[in-house]
Every structure is written in C-alpha cells, then in structure tokens.
Structure 1
Amino acid sequence: MTSLLSKSAPAALALALSPVAALAVPAGGYGDLVEQVAPAVVFIEVTNTVQPARALPDDMPENLRKRFEQQMPDARPQGGLGSGFLISDEGQIVTNHHVVAGASAVKVKLADGRSFDAEVIGSDPATDIALLSIKSDVDLPFVSFGTSEEMRAGDEVVAVGNPFGLSSTVTSGIISAKSRDINAGPYDEFIQTDAAINRGNSGGPLFNNEGEVIGVNTAILSPGGGSVGIGFAIPSDVVRDVVADLSDDGIVTRGWLGVSIRPMSDEVANVLGLEGAKGAVVEAVSKDSPAAAAGLERGDIILNFDGNDIAALGDLTRAVAAKDPDEKASITVLRRGKELKLDVAIGTLAPQKA
C-alpha cells in the first residue's frame, strides 16, 4: 500500500470459522472477535523479477556497449508484502490485484506459522481484486462475507493485516463514509474508514461486529506514507461478485455499451431546466457498438439505465458493467429537450490487462 493515493463468493462460502452469531463488542474490546477471525487472515510475500529498463541498440559501438552494460543492472528479484484472507476451507484466498501483479512467485503464511506456495487463480485490475489458491492436507480456517450495503457511516469496524510486515496486526475504528470515488478506477465505490491501515495492509479484511468481511483494505490517503485515519476498502458486495467470476475461469466478464461520457455541467442543467446537474452526457459513440445499434447519439444525456437513475458517471459505468453480455436493457435519454426510451443489447467489455 503506497500513499496518496495508493493501493494498499459463492454461496458455498457462507460458513465461517465457527458460528459467530450477532457478536456484540464487549466493554473489554474486540478480543473474542479477533480470536475467531484472525486465523483466516494471511501474510502474503511476493517475488517479482525486475528486468533492465531497455535493450541496447544493435549498432552501438563496442566500446560504448561495454561501458553501458557495466552500468546497467541485471534482471533481479524484488519482494513485496501484503495481506489476504481465506474464504474457503479448501484454500481460496482473496487479496488485492496490485499485491500480486507481475509476481513470479507468491508465498502465503498463515497465522499459525504454516507456509504455502500460492497459485494466482485470477486477477481483476479494474476492481483491484485477486483470487489465490493454496493446497493443504487438512481443512483451513476461513471467514465469510457480510453485506456491505447494510453498513452505515458510524458503524464500528475492525481491520486485520500485516502493516510493514508486522503480522496479525489489529486496528479498529468506524466507517467514515461510503461510496467514495478516489479516482483509482472505473468502478470506485469505496468504504472510507478511520481504522489504521498502512503499507502491507493491502488485501486484508475489514470486519463488522459479527466477524464478517464487509470490505477489502486497498488504499490510503497519506501525504507522509503512514496512516492519518483516511483509508479505503472495496465493499464486500463488489468483492463477492468478482471472486465468484474469477473462480469460474480466472477472468471477470462485464457488459459493454460503447460510449464516451462526461458529466453534466451546472450551466447545461440550468439551460435544460433540470434540478441540478445529473446524467451522463454522450461525447462519442463507438462504431459497431451496442450503443450505435440502439441509436444513441453524441449529445444525448443518459438519465436512466435499466431502472437505475444516473446521478454521476460512475452510476452508468457500474450499471452497464453489471449486465451480462447479450442481455437487454432500456435507456432513458434526453435529446434536444425531449425524453426518449431506447432498447440496447449489451456487448462484452474486453478484459482489462493486468
């Protein structure tokens, strides 16, 4: 997890380490909760091979070639650290994409000291979620996902991870805000928390008081590189869907509309007589796209997509991505002062490269 800004299941996963029914936080603290969930939080160590910046030209004079070769570093391994958590007794682990991106080897260490070589099942750069797998002869401890939508600003949360390599570190706080857009990607909808998270917490779980994972700690806002009480977690409702998709074939399939969009300005909203700037203004329509086939035009203002009101650009991006390819959807647009309804057959978004 770096600073300013940095990157810090299926139904069968519904069982947890042991039944944790409405575990209220006692006056003495979070000890009981941590005892139940900490065994499922893992330490992740990554090895990457760093290549020289670029190859030398073939026609370079020999004396210059030797001089530059002496100054250029050889390919060498570098390490990285992060956190993750087990979501099945068979060894599935959730972490951040940026923790394992470009890894030549991934090792996972459990809280009880056992170490495993891990396989990257799949990774989604768009949401910064990765799914790993380890093999064990015995069942492994694991935790379950809660529902992030039910969480409110002010609710208590607990983070467990490995900041700066300090394994099984527990911090607590509250949810400071929800649906934060920090310009980290097209599907930003972060939970903001003041629970201390630092470098190495990336990929670790954010728990509610019932011991359920309601977020994956991913980024911090920090001018100096350490925690200043502003951290961000990917909501569990997003993570659950991405993990389910990755577990199928290692990639995430998303819907595609085929438009470039920009936000509505206050000036345009006033001219059109709208109550505040809302909707997504179509700047361009891709050739041979679902949007073109549906009749969308440059200058259209998308107000609603398949029943979802579009107040901001992210609303449209997430709504389209959530649709399955070839699925039908209805779009309400404002065109030259009149509302129109269009039908569209959603396409398939090309997977984002890791």
Structure 2
Amino acid sequence: MPMLTPRSSLKAVLIASTLVTAGVAGTSLPVTSAQAEVPMQGYADLVARVSPAVVFIEVTAKSQEPAGMAGSPLEEFLRRFGEVDPQFRMPQAPEGGQVMHGLGSGFLVSNDGVIVTNNHVVENATDMKVKLEDGREFKAEVVGTDPMTDIAVIKLKDASDLPFVELGDSDRLRVGDAVVAVGNPFGLGGTVTSGIVSAMGRNINSGPYDDYIQTDAAINRGNSGGPLFDTEGKVVGMNTAIFSPSGGSVGIGFSIPANTVRDVVDQLQENGSVSRGWLGVTIQPMTPEIAQAMGLEGADGALVAEVQDGSPADEGGLKSGDVITAVNGQDVTERSSLPRLIAAIPNGQEATLAVQRDGREREVTVTIGELTPDRTRVAESQSPEVLGAPLGIEVQPLQPSLARQLGLPDGASGVVVTAVDPAGPNADRLAPGDVIEEAAGREIRTPGDLASAVRESDGKGVLLLKVSRQGNPVYVGAEVASS
C-alpha cells in the first residue's frame, strides 16, 4: 500500500486503508451532531450497534502483464492492496496474466446490500466476495466507480434484511471532535480504534477534488473503504489514505468527507457514473511573491495560467492572468478549492466568478459545461510539471499575461516556479514566483526543456540557472539531487 511522503505539496501516493462500518440490523441510526466527549464507559455500546454493518471484501483481480514488469497494472495492484497473501499468488495465469487476491473494507448503506467502499479496493476486480460480521458471505458486483474521488458502490447478490448505516453531515465536524473507526487491519478481522478529528480540508494531492478529514484514529492496511464514525454512530467519512514512512499507522490518516461520499454515491446509484462541472482553465497556486508582483493584498485565489479555446471560461471572457477569488459567493482560498466548487455545478448552469484583473475586482458570468474524459485528459496534460527529487520544485509555462503581471518584457519566455519542496535540495535557492529563463546556457521555454537540462546535468550535482526574480535577473547554482 502506497504511503504519502513528506513533501511541501504532498504528492498523492494514495491508499491507506480503513475499515469502518456501521449499522443496526434493519434500522438506521438517528441524526445527531458529532460530539467531542469520550464516554466514561468507552465506545462499547456504539461498536455493538454499528459493527454488524462492517463488511470485509475479498477481491480477485487479474493483470494482463507478465510477472515482474515494473510499472505494470499488477505492480500497481500490489502497491495499493499491500496485504496480498503469498499463498494466493500464481506465477502465471492460464491466459498469460497474474491472478491476485486482496482485502478491503466497506459499509452497508441499505438493507438490500448496497455497499460503499474505495474504488482502489474493487478496481480491476474479476470476482468479489463480501463477508459480514455474523459470518454470512455474499457475492457482489460493481454498481459504479469514480476514480477521481476513489469512491465505489457495489451490491450484494440475493441479499435482504441486512444491517446498515446512514451518512452523517461532515460539514458539522470540528477539529477536536471524537471519531471511531471499525475495520479489518492487516486482515485481522473486526478491529476498533478511536481518536479525534485532527484537521479538516486537507489536500494531499491525490486528485483534483482533495478535501480530506485528517484523523489520528489508527488506520492501517486492510482498512480501505471503511467508514469513520462520530460518537453518535453516524458515518462522517470513508477512510482512504495514510501518511506513513513505516507502512503502519503513525496517527495521520485521511478520510473522504461523508458529504462528498453522499453526492458521488447518489450519482453512481442513479447513473452508474458521476457528472461534474467544467470551466476549461489551467490554474496554478497564488503565492505571496506573485500576489505582490500583481499588486494584490493577499495570496488567496486560483491563478488562471491558460484558458482553453472554446471552453466555458473562454466564452465567458476569462483571461490568462485572472485570479479567481470566489464562485457563486463561495471563497476560493487556494487553488484546490476551485475544481471542487466548479465540479459541484450542474452542466448548463450559470456561475458568477469574482475575479481580480489588472488590480481591480470584477464579476464574470460563465455557463458551466460538463467534464468529460477527454477534457479531463487535457486538463491533466496541462497540470504543473513536478521535477520532484532532482530539483524539488514544481513549474508551469510562462503565459504572456502572467509575464506582464510579473513585470517582464514582451516576448519573455521561461517557466514559473509554482512550488518548492521545503525539504528539497533548493529550498533556500529558489522560490515560488521565480521565472527560470535559462539552464546551463540553454534557453528554457517549457517544463520539458528544463527536464532535459536536468537530465544532461546528471552526475554534475549542480545546474546553473538564470532566473528572473521580481523583475531582476539573478543566477542560481541549483543543486541536482541524485535520482
């Protein structure tokens, strides 16, 4: 199971797991707010009520790639499931692929066998077997999956009168509220852990819609797809990822908020897929340096690096260099806020954007489109390039409008540094807002140009960069870390 690594912008390495479930047989739990008080008698009564709805999912998946192929779907399968038992491994499947078994978790949300879990638990599954706490086993089939939020819905075959739970209101959670996880860590069976909500709105860079609940309730391998409960037994999150240098719980786990789960599950049950709003812009984070160069007081908002031709943003009049600070009155506090706000707007509906342009605020009205797979691929291809270990920075192409905002002359070229790893080799040499114009005497126009210069410097340990910093040219001897 992949673990998050400590970087300035935690690049998602998904998948810690947690099994947390819920439900009294045939009944749903009352709607109440999360409370931080831990009862003197512990959580025994709560666990007795909700644990019947905890389910353990055994998945069979087959890779079509030969064994041992680096970067193959099989390698990804192993990386994600983590707890694959060697006794289930087959050197070679009859059709040429490998067959693997893995374990995950989920929770029942209806008495006829509808289960919510993580997409990474069931993706590529050729067979699924679900076991309840009382020992009953069922076959299951996929209803729908949403890889972008790592949420999936499956349904048991020939099931009725099962225990289930309801999703609570995750917007009512506060930092410090007590939470409980019930799961299947390392395949041990039903296990209960407790803790508090450590933080809200965490962005771990696992996808464009990151908005995780962080908790210190112990979450380990085998818990993926299970729920996180408040002290009244409502499911307030689905455990999905952990930060761990060791592979075990170190008290930093991440759960998808129940309100996100509810919206996705409703669409998957109704349509088998999820529809999201589309604006058609490439964005980058604001930094204090960029804000200062643009004459803005704060660094909130999402900076528009590029507007796609023919997109809703293009037709609505958005321009490269605009800073979007609000959508329909909801503040865009950082870059990651914008995709979530736009995704929630139905196709064809108008949205009012608050925009900073040329030092003045204005409103732009756009008609939101629908995010289709081809548009998703375009957006991903235009996302910031991460040079990670070699330089420890993230860069994007320099757009003409942004160059003007940064006080650069017409025709200026280069790449803009949008993030710097504070633990990286150049934390004290480069800063967000720097424009890299040359590397080792070579003109830099694209992230690919810089990547080529980095590769050619392999073994030298240092790369001479010409940088425009707040309009002034400076040379930087950037350290190139060994890969």
Change (3 A) 1:262 1:226: same
Please point out which of 250, 273, 276 is paired with 1:251: 273
Please point out which of 36, 58, 64 is paired with 1:45: 58
Please point out which of 354, 362, 367 is paired with 1:340: 362
Please point out which of 16, 40, 54 is paired with 1:27: 40
Counterpart for residue 194 of structure 1: 216
Aligned-residue CA RMSD in angstroms?
Answer: 2.2
Length-normalised TM-score, structure 1: 0.89
Counterpart for residue 426 of structure 2: none
Cα separation, 2, equivalents of 1:38 and 1:20 = 16
Counterpart for residue 127 of structure 2: 105
Please point out which of 5, 8, 15 is paired with 1:7: 15
Counterpart for residue 212 of structure 1: 234
Change (3 A) 1:113 1:306: same
**Partner SS for 1:288:** coil
Q: How does 1:278-297 map to 2 (within 5 A)?
A: 278-297=300-319
Sequence identity of aligned pairs in percent? Answer: 55
Counterpart for residue 100 of structure 2: 78
**Partner SS for 1:240:** helix
Higher relative contact order (CA 8 A, sep 6+): 1
Cα separation, 2, equivalents of 1:261 and 1:182 = 17
Is 29-38 or 72-81 further displaced after alignment?
Answer: 72-81
Tell me the CA shift for residue 6 of structure 1: 3.0
Q: How does 1:1-354 map to 2 (within 5 A)?
A: 1-4=1-4, 5-8=13-16, 17=27, 19-20=29-30, 25-53=38-66, 74-351=96-373
Query: Deviation digits for residues 130-168 of structure 1, max 9, x if unmatched?
Result: 001113353110011111111111111100111111121
Tell me the CA shift for residue 340 of structure 1: 2.2
**Partner SS for 2:112:** coil
Task: Return 5+ residue gaps in structure 2 as ranges.
Answer: 5-12, 17-22, 68-90, 378-483
Change (3 A) 1:201 1:72: closer
Query: Deviation digits for residues 4-30 of structure 1, max 9, x if unmatched?
Result: 24312xxxx9x9735557697531211
Cα separation, 2, equivalents of 1:345 and 1:286 = 14
Counterpart for residue 63 of structure 1: none
Length-normalised TM-score, structure 2: 0.66
Cα separation, 2, equivalents of 1:295 and 1:166 = 56
Cα separation, 1, equivalents of 2:153 and 2:39 = 34
Query: Does structure 2 retain, via aligned residues, the 8 Å contact 1:44–1:107?
Result: yes
Query: Does structure 2 retain, via aligned residues, the 8 Å contact 1:16–1:144?
Result: no
Query: Deviation digits for residues 254-305 of structure 1, max 9, x if unmatched?
Result: 0000000111221232244433211111111111111111011111111222
Cα separation, 2, equivalents of 1:288 and 1:150 = 39
Query: Deviation digits for residues 232-270 of structure 1, max 9, x if unmatched?
Result: 100001101110011111100000000001112212322
Change (3 A) 1:231 1:16: farther
Change (3 A) 1:148 1:288: same
**Partner SS for 2:336:** helix
**Partner SS for 2:163:** coil
Change (3 A) 1:199 1:2: farther
Task: Return 5+ residue gaps in structure 1 as ranges.
Answer: 55-70
Cα separation, 1, equivalents of 2:294 and 2:205 = 29
Partner letter of residue 42 of structure 1? V
Cα separation, 2, equivalents of 1:82 and 1:172 = 19
Query: Does structure 2 retain, via aligned residues, the 8 Å contact 1:97–1:130?
Result: yes
Partner letter of residue 52 of structure 2? P
Aligned pairs, number: 332
